[in-house]
Every structure is written in C-alpha cells, then in structure tokens.
Structure 1
C-alpha cells in the first residue's frame, strides 16, 4: 500500500505531464488550504473565491514550470500570492478613481468626526502590518511553511524572511502592547 505522499507525488507528476484529471484531484485536495490563504490575504469572501479561481486556472496553465513535485503546495501558494497581488493592484486602481470623487464629498464632514480608540486583537493587528511582514507571518504561522519555503514562495532570500518575521513579530508585540495599555 502506498503512502498519501507517494500518491500525491504521482498525481503531481501526472498533472505536470498534462493530465487535467490529476490536477483536479490535487486542487480538490488543497482547496480548503487555498481558500484559507486567499481569505487571510484578501479579508473578503468573494475576493478570496475570485483569487482561488484565478489561481486554479493559472496553476493549470503553469504546472509544467513546477520542477520538484514535492514542492507543489509551496508552488501553488506562490501562484496564489501573485494572483492576490494582481487582484489587489486592479482593485486599488479602480478605487483610486472612485476615491477622488468620494474624497471631495467627505472633506466637509471629516473635520466633524471624533476619532475612536481602536481595540486590536491579534487578527486585526496582523491585518495592519505592511505586506512584507504580514505575508511571511501568515505563511509561517497559519500555513506552517518553513523559512526556506517562504523564501522560495516569495522569491526573496531566507535572511530577508527571517528579518521580516522578526520585525513583524516586534510590530505585533508593540501593537498588542499599546492596545493593552489603552484598555488598562
């Protein structure tokens, strides 16, 4: 009897050779993971579903570029992150056009609003991190990737991943510490 890993490696190799059924089985196996990662990145159900759908298509079209079958999950995560970046860029360009009209409408009421005290929980604190810290933290602590896998996925050196993780953790500690101090 073969192990799950051996079966998955065989499916990956078939998918690389162009077997769409094998690719479908792989996506089915990883769909929950893909959705969770997309949702952590987009923070919106519909956007996450769009990103996963585009990732599945791009993955299918690019599967022949996968050199090491044992790195399928890392590779598909890289495709997902790149797809999510593309979606974010498109959304930002659309929003920037709409924002100019909205900004002028809200300019008169902005001075009347009283700033509220924000209460940070861990999820909120993570969402406020810059992408270069947030994404490695999500990949490390929510996906269980190693530093080397994160480096490969993001196409950056391992040393940068370690630095981003450290700086991101420090920013999280600071944000959560400030929240605690405000609540006391």
Structure 2
C-alpha cells in the first residue's frame, strides 16, 4: 500500500493505518523532540502528545503527500511552546553549566548550550539543518516560509554562534 492511501485510510480513523504512519515517523519525531529537550523522558512525552494531537486532527491534512511535513510541524510547535515554558529553568542550568566548565575545548554540549541561547526561530533552523540533515527546501516546507527566509535565519544563527563561541574561546 502506498503512503498516500495509508494517510487517506488514517483520515477515516483506521487505527491500523494511523499506527503504521506513526511507526514510520516516530524515530524522526523523537529526534526532533530530543534535540529540544535533551532528555529521554521529555522527548518521549512529546512524541506521545504529538501522536495524540495528530490523531485528533488528521482530517486537517489536505494533501496526503504532505503528512510528514504536517506532523513534523506539529512536533516543532509543541516543542517550541514547551521549550518557552521551561526556558527560564533551562537558561539557569545553561549558565551554571558554562560557569562550571573547566576546559576551553569546545564540546558538543558547549555548542548545544550556545544554540539554546539563540532565538527559538533560529534554533529550529539550526537543529533541522545540522541535527536532522534536512535541506533548505524541506525546512522551508516545514516552517511554511520562503527558502530565502530559512537561508537568512541560518546565516544569522551561524553568525551569532560564531561570535558567541569566539567570546567563550577568548575568555
């Protein structure tokens, strides 16, 4: 059975078809959630919540070939809202982590901490591009914005990260 037929069956509340769709997407959804929350519990909770929301709203998918984009967008929106809600606590932890750093060597954790300090719109673009290996076009589809906007956000993000990392390296 092809993907579009599977989506159409799921839109008729065929539970098996919906389960199959979620099974196809759960790992990529988990990776997106994990890139935001950096812990298994919150990432798993996000996948569960997004699965529930997708099940409730599956009729809203107008073109079955865009199901992947649609459910990815739901995940990004959910993660962005939850991230904003937890931002104050997260920033305190990041500040503490930076203060406790004994080495000037840049690690993946250091980079993730710097990314966490970016504006949420910029974070999404960096995470989708570099953590999930999506193309500019795919990111534009997910974010429902022009490719030029994605390129601008990516350029701005990289420029800010370069400045931020340079300051840390020099201090």
TM-score using structure 1 length:
0.72
Specify the SS of the correspondent of 2:166.
helix
Q: Could you tell me how far apart the structure 1 residues matched to 2:166 and 2:63 are?
A: 43
* Residue 40 (str. 1) matches residue 23 (str. 2): no
Greater displacement, 143-152 / 75-84: 143-152
Greater displacement, 65-74 / 32-41: 65-74
By how many angstroms is 1:74 displaced?
1.5
Rate the CA distance shift 1:92–1:125 in 2: closer, same or farther, 3 A.
Answer: closer
Contact 2:136 2:151 in 1 (8 A): yes
Counterpart of 1:88 (choices 83, 90, 114) is 83
Runs of 5+ in structure 2 lacking a partner? 90-97
Counterpart of 2:136 (choices 147, 171, 174) is 147
The alignment's C-alpha RMSD in Å is 2.8
* Residue 159 (str. 1) matches residue 148 (str. 2): yes
Q: Name the structure 2 match of 1:31.
A: 26
Counterpart of 1:131 (choices 109, 112, 120) is 120
Contact 1:147 1:158 in 2 (8 A): yes
Q: Name the structure 2 match of 1:8.
A: 3
Counterpart of 2:74 (choices 54, 76, 79) is 79
Specify the SS of the correspondent of 2:13.
coil
Runs of 5+ in structure 1 lacking a partner? 1-5, 96-114
Aligned residue-pair number:
159
Q: Could you tell me how far apart the structure 2 residues matched to 1:132 and 1:22 are?
A: 33
Rate the CA distance shift 1:162–1:91 in 2: closer, same or farther, 3 A.
Answer: same
